[in-house]
Chain A
Amino acid sequence: AQRVTQPEKLLSVFKGAPVELKCNYSYSGSPELFWYVQYSRQRLQLLLRHISRESIKGFTADLNKGETSFHLKKPFAQEEDSAMYYCALRWYSGGGADGLTFGKGTHLIIQP
């Protein structure tokens, strides 16, 4: 079965410092990975996906199949980055049906 692990429940860094949110996965198929973010009192929203290889709000994430990781990074943290971050893996079952498995989330706090 697929699994997503986010080892840090809470991560606190100072404004301007680099941020790295860790995510490791296990999946027998070809992985599709995502980072979702939930700001205070807002709904869960997609931050970025590995297939896009894009940078959103200064965040990037590289899929490392050898280490089965998809860590989220930002060189200089901003206070508005404070939020819950979830790593998610899309898995496929027979017939093309799919679902998302989420990690338990990391609460990122950016201190001024």
Chain B
Amino acid sequence: KAGVTQTPRYLIKTRGQQVTLSCSPISGHRSVSWYQQTPGQGLQFLFEYFSETQRNKGNFPGRFSGRQFSNSRSEMNVSTLELGDSALYLCASSLGEGPYEQYFGPGTRLTVT
């Protein structure tokens, strides 16, 4: 079974631009979560989607948004990029909400200059 895939793997953007990251979950998984990983803050929860609905949101500004499609693929968008948004963005999928294991993708490395 193919694992979680994320595209693109690397991205360089300029301050003020916007970016869209994509995540394809494991086949059959319906829940997708996004995390931001930085050296200073570690792994921080961004949001969770289940059945095309955002179920939870972490403590991030409204510039961070996302969505989930009917095939469970998910995208996250960051508008008006700031230098501090440079991070590894991880996506994780699970069968559903509740006590299911989350499987992580390789991440998208975003660099904002």
Give the interface of A toward B (CB within 8 A). Answer: 32, 43-46, 49, 51, 86, 90, 93, 95-105
A95 to B96, CA, bound (A): 13
B-side interface size class: 20 to 34
Residues of B within 8 A of A46 (CB): 101-103
What is the 8 Å Cβ interface bit string for chain B, positions 34-76, against chain A (1 contact, 0 not)?
0100000111110010100001101000000000000000000
Give the interface of B toward A (CB within 8 A). Answer: 3, 33, 35, 41-45, 48, 50, 55-56, 58, 90, 92, 97-99, 101-107
A51 to B101, CA, bound (A): 12
Residues of A within 8 A of B90 (CB): 44
Contact present for A99 and B58 (CB under 8 Å): yes
Contact present for A101 and B48 (CB under 8 Å): no
Contact present for B48 and A97 (CB under 8 Å): yes
Residues of B within 8 A of A105 (CB): 42-43
| CB of A87 to closest CB in B, whole Å | 11
- Leading 4 A-B pairs by shortest Cβ distance: A97-B55, A104-B42, A102-B43, A44-B104
A93 to B47, CA, bound (A): 12
Nearest-CB residue, chain A, relative to B59: A1
Nearest-CB residue, chain B, relative to A97: B55
Known contacts A46-B102, A96-B97; A101 and B45 CB within 8 A of each other: yes
A43 to B50, CA, bound (A): 22
Contact present for A97 and B56 (CB under 8 Å): yes
Contact present for B99 and A100 (CB under 8 Å): no
Residues of A within 8 A of B106 (CB): 43
Q: List 25 A-B contacts (CB under 8 A).
A: A32-B99, A43-B3, A43-B106, A44-B90, A44-B92, A45-B104, A46-B101, A86-B42, A86-B43, A93-B56, A95-B55, A96-B97, A97-B48, A97-B50, A97-B56, A97-B97, A98-B98, A99-B33, A100-B92, A102-B35, A102-B42, A102-B43, A104-B42, A105-B42, A105-B43
A32 to B94, CA, bound (A): 16
Known: A49-B101, A99-B45. 13 other contacts (CB 8 A): A46-B103, A86-B42, A90-B99, A96-B97, A97-B48, A98-B98, A99-B48, A99-B56, A99-B58, A100-B35, A100-B92, A100-B102, A104-B42
